[in-house]
Amino acid sequence: MSTRKKGLYAGKVKKAVQLLFYKRHVKPGVKGWELHKALGSDYPKVLDVLDDYLKPMSMEVKTVFEETKPSEEPTLEELDKARFFVVLRDDDTKDKLMGWRIDDLAGLVVTISYLISKKGQANRKDIEKMLGEKLPGWKVNLNLDRYIRYGYIMQDERGQLFLDWRTQVEVDQKKLVDMLLSVEKQAVKVAESLQKKPAEEVQ
């Protein structure tokens, strides 16, 4: 987009920053219809300009479609139902997570994967039991509470866990599922090849 056009959008970009950076709801981010109301029907272009401004700061505007899958080129109506966030770009998100222990990250991946397999929700006790097979018992609740605090999962009053906003924003769920399926297929192949070998070779 040209510098002149960016200048024309300067006032709207400032308003978009106020809406996106200042938390006004329990859940971070802003609904598309709120941006539509505040900025006008060209708000997607305003967000494109803002995204350009954020690049040098390693940040970006992220769009999450919470209700329905959008078309390849989302319509204004579909965007109005989406939620918009300002987040760190992918490389910086990875760097931010590098401070986590590998077993804590593995627990997060397992938790998110399990919730995806259960269509987005599961009882906390079921997840505690599953994580207890992979992590020391004292770390299970500690890690789950951490995942909740960081916004990757949330818990209701009935002890049900759900995928929260940060998972929606930072995790490519399809890629994660594909990766896990690939690992599973590879494990099956290895197991099958071992079964075909003579017993003395396997020992």
My answer on whether 62 and 16 are in the same domain is yes
- Among 5-9, 38-42, 170-174, the least confident range: 5-9
Q: Distance between CA atoms of 199 and 52, rounded to whole angstroms?
A: 61
DSSP single-letter state for residue 26: S
132 lies in the same domain as 71:
no
Structural domain includes residue 186: no
Residues 9 and 47 in one domain: yes
Mean pLDDT in residue range 68-72: 76
Same domain? 50 vs 29 = yes
Is 198 inside any structural domain? Answer: no
Q: Is there a single domain that holds both residue 66 and residue 114?
A: no
Ranges assigned E (strand) in 157-203:
160-163
Amino acid at 4: R
Residue where a domain terminates, one of 62, 89, 116: 89
Question: Looking at 45, 60, 89, which one is the last position of a domain?
Answer: 89
Per-residue pLDDT tens digits for 134-148? 778 888 999 999 999
Assess whether 72 and 113 both reside in one domain.
no
Cβ atoms of residues 112 and 171 within 8 Å = yes
Res 50 pLDDT > 90: no
> Across-strand partners of 93?
none
Domain end (from 89, 112, 140): 89
pLDDT at 202 over 50: no
Return the CATH number at 154: 1.10.10.10
The partner residues of 140 in beta bridges, in order of sequence, read none
User: What local confidence, expressed as pLDDT, does residue 167 receive?
Assistant: 85
Specify the number of domains making up the chain: 2
76 and 29 together in one domain: yes
Count of positions (residues) in the chain: 203
Tell me the pTM: 0.56
The answer to whether residues 62 and 23 belong to one domain is: yes
Share of the chain above pLDDT 70, in %: 74
State the Cα–Cα distance between residues 65 and 81, nearest whole angstrom.
7
Handedness of CA 67, 181, 60, 145 (dihedral sign): positive
Is residue 95 included in any domain, yes or no? no
The tens digit of pLDDT for each residue in 148-166 reads 998 899 999 999 999 988 8
Task: Tell me which residue range forms the domain holding 8.
Answer: 3-89
Please give the pLDDT value at position 135: 79
Q: Name the DSSP letter for residue 85.
A: E
Closest to 1 in 3D by CA, of 43, 45, 41, 36: 45
